[in-house]
Amino acid sequence: MALRRTLALAPEPASARLGRRAATSLMAEVGARPDLVDAVVLVVSELVTNAVRHAPGSVELLLEADATTASVGVRDTSAARPQLVDAYDGGGRGMLVVTALAVRWHVEEVPGGKVVWAHLRAA
């Protein structure tokens, strides 16, 4: 059965750790496979860090998971979209990690900003 969790986060670096902790706990509740847990925690870390670094306001983490699939959504207050940067140049690693780990990611426009969604599946 899929479980959902929503977590309001402050626009500060410590929010990435709170997001990772929430993801770890939800994935344990659904009995997710270890490879999926690792991937979800990494994606949460990168997307929350991006929301804190690249958008001005508060952040919301949206999680939905069952044992073999997970969706991670991170809402922020900027309309600008994540960019896939071709060559690593002191940055641009985060979305490459998300692209490698997720089946797909996309941006949902919402009032006052956006949600960056990543959908993952156990290998």
Ligand X SMILES: Nc1ncnc2c1ncn2[C@@H]1O[C@H](COP(=O)(O)OP(=O)(O)OP(=O)(O)O)[C@@H](O)[C@H]1O
Task: Compare residues 73 and 94 and give the one whose CB is closer to Mg ion.
Answer: 94
Site membership for Mg ion, residue 15 (CB under 5 A)? no
**Closest approach of ligand X to the CB of residue 81, in Å:** 6
Element (H, E) at 8: strand 3-9
Task: Compare residues 19 and 94 and give the one whose CB is closer to ligand X.
Answer: 94
Of 9, 94, 105, 114, which lies in the binding site for Mg ion, with binding defined by CB under 5 A? 94
Which phi and psi angles does 112 have, rounded to 5°? 85, 5
HSE-up (13 A, CA, CB side) for residue 60: 11
Tell me the site size for Mg ion, rule CB under 5 A. 2
- Contact (CB, 8 A) for 113 and 76: yes
User: Rounded to the nearest 5 degrees, what angle is found at the Cα of 3, between the Cα atoms of 118 and 56?
Assistant: 45
Interface contacts to ligand X, rule CB under 6 A: 46, 50-51, 53-55, 76, 78, 80, 82-83, 85, 91-95, 116
Nearest to ligand X by Cβ — which residue?
94
